Amino acid sequence: MGKFVIGDIHSSLKALEQVLERAAIGMEDHLIFLGDYVDGWSHAFETVEFLIALGESHNCTFLRGNHDELCREWMLTGEENPQWLAHGGEATKISYLTVEKGKWDRHLEFYSSLENTYLDDDKRLYLHAGYTNLKGIAYEYFEQLFYWDRTLWELAKAIDPSLSPGDDAFPKRLTHYQEIFIGHTPLSKTGHAVPQKKANVWNLDTGAAFKGALTIMNVDTKEFWQSDPVYTLYPGERGRN
């Protein structure tokens, strides 16, 4: 049995199917999705349909991304956030409006059921974006930071590589977890990227919404597999480019 973490999908169902096949995922494996299932390519509705079915057949943990929450808000209220539309939401809106609204109900249940964080038995933390409280996630004041924050990755990149968690200068908020896995901040918008580790933080957003690929990683071995560049799977579409 393996444990695998998957980066930001952004409606790239074709890429998701590729990485699951390339990693030879089996029924006994645990799949941890870091959020942002929609907003980007044309398969928003189909991607969520696929994930719902996958969750019924496999051991899956689905985390909440900021784009998932923006999509949910539109589905509930009908209000079109201009920022959401400009950053992939337009393709998601079109995808959902091609199906009857009666089929939205279980998608809304899916979005509502998403978790903000997941902590495994080895003190490895998984969340979409980050957190700010020095004492860790249990003390965070605003849960929206779990899927909106960018300071965690910025902090990790700024740490002197020679420092370790036992050093006084090592940031306290990172010391509560063995490793932290996030997405949210693309490692590249213009080309190929691979997962990066800074301090004890792994970033799995390899730019699937832009010119990059979707990534799945074995949490224990750090072996990873990637899809083809997603834009090549959706010729004629812009994604978030």
219-235: pLDDT as tens digits: 999 999 999 999 999 99
For residues 26 and 34, what is the distance between their CA atoms, to the nearest angstrom?
A: 19
pLDDT in tens, 113-155: 999 999 999 999 999 999 999 999 999 999 999 999 999 999 9
Contact status, residue 116 vs residue 66, Cβ threshold 8 Å: no
Percent of the chain with pLDDT over 70: 100
Burial of 79 (0-12, 13-18, 19+ CB in 10 A): exposed
| pTM: predicted TM-score of the whole model, two decimal places | 0.97
Residue identified by tokens 């393709």 is 91
* Spacing of C-alpha 195 from chain mean position: 13
- Which pLDDT band, with edges at 50, 70 and 90, does 1 fall under? confident
Query: What average pLDDT does the chain have?
Result: 97
At residue 48, the 3 state secondary structure works out as helix
Rg (CA), the chain: 17
* pLDDT given for residue 6 in this prediction: 99
Mean pLDDT of 190-194: 97
Closest CA to 127 of 139, 117, 136: 117
Pick the CATH number of 3-233 from 3.40.50.300, 3.10.110.10, 3.60.21.10, 3.40.190.170: 3.60.21.10
**Given this model, what pLDDT does residue 4 score?**
98
